[in-house]
Amino acid sequence: MKKRSLLLLLFTFLSFSLIYGEPAWFSNPPKESGFFYFAGIGRGKDPKASKEAALADVYSQIVYMIRASVTANSTFEKYVEENEKEARRNSAVYSKVRAKGEAVIEDFSLEKQETEKIKEDGKEYTVFYVLVKVPKKEIEKARERLEKEAAERKANAMGVFAFSLSPDGNIEDVEDIRTTIETVYKEMGFNIKSIDINPTADVLKSRNKMINFIKKSVYPQIKKAIVCTIITSNVRKQTQGNFVITSILGSLNISEVNLETGEVVSSNLIEGKGVSMRKDDSAVNDAYRKLIKSFIEKFMEDPSGKKKDDDYI
């Protein structure tokens, strides 16, 4: 009897700590007078890191939505009701740029947390879901602080730059990433100014050289910059029959920089891979195109991993 009770207790514990699929409250957070609820998701091999990523997702949503609601000149509650889904998607982009996030709230409580184990490409990951409860008065305090910063954002222009360097040394403007960032930041009241620059391959390979190049090219017209660079790191070829399988590894580095001080405010690195199987020499270029495409998809994807047209708040 004691053994059966112990097994029942263990099963009950596991059912609360390990779930299969996202919890119902993730897609439909509760509503309560005097409070806002935010649901976040994080994934990683380490459970602790995945929980931190889920909390970072929540913080990013809060910061983005507060900033955007200040710009919209409406109450936070009204802004969330009218723009909830789109704001959630844009906060995902915001979190990739502002990797460290901005803890603009002090009073909040972690209401729920659940985990799910998944396997991808033979590797096991922990998916962490969190539900955070924030008093409305805390949101109002944050709005008041950010309203004071709005004038500074308008006064200090920001530039967005996104380039990729191909294996043969060609430089391209990655327009999808650049325009997405510009749109998100414009919505939050940032003074985005478009200026063309022409970095060399040598400059693009070094973040410090790139920052110095941008500063010399655009400062003081632009006081802040978001710099995105895609660099290939390894090209591998393998013959299989009449085909050549080509794989290209690369990384997307995203940094926000204060050009007045040279300080890197935040930095994020996304790894990627492009693979092509062709009979002719076009395989390298095809693999490179697929690498760029993978970065664009990773950059624009939602934290939940759902497609863009899904409803998830």
CB 186 within 8 A of CB 180: no
Report whether pLDDT(1) > 80: no
Give the Cα separation of 101 and 161 in Å (integer). 20
- List, for residues 240-266, the tens digit of each pLDDT value: 888 889 999 999 999 999 999 999 989
Report whether pLDDT(87) > 60: yes
Domains and CATH numbers, the chain: 2-149 (no CATH), 156-300 (3.40.50)
Q: Is the peptide bond before 167 cis (omega within 30 degrees of 0)?
A: no
For a pLDDT cut of 90, what percent of the chain falls above it? 52
Report whether pLDDT(183) > 50: yes
Mean pLDDT of 27-45: 91
Q: What ranges in 156-263 are assigned the alpha helix state H? A: 175-187, 201-204, 207-218
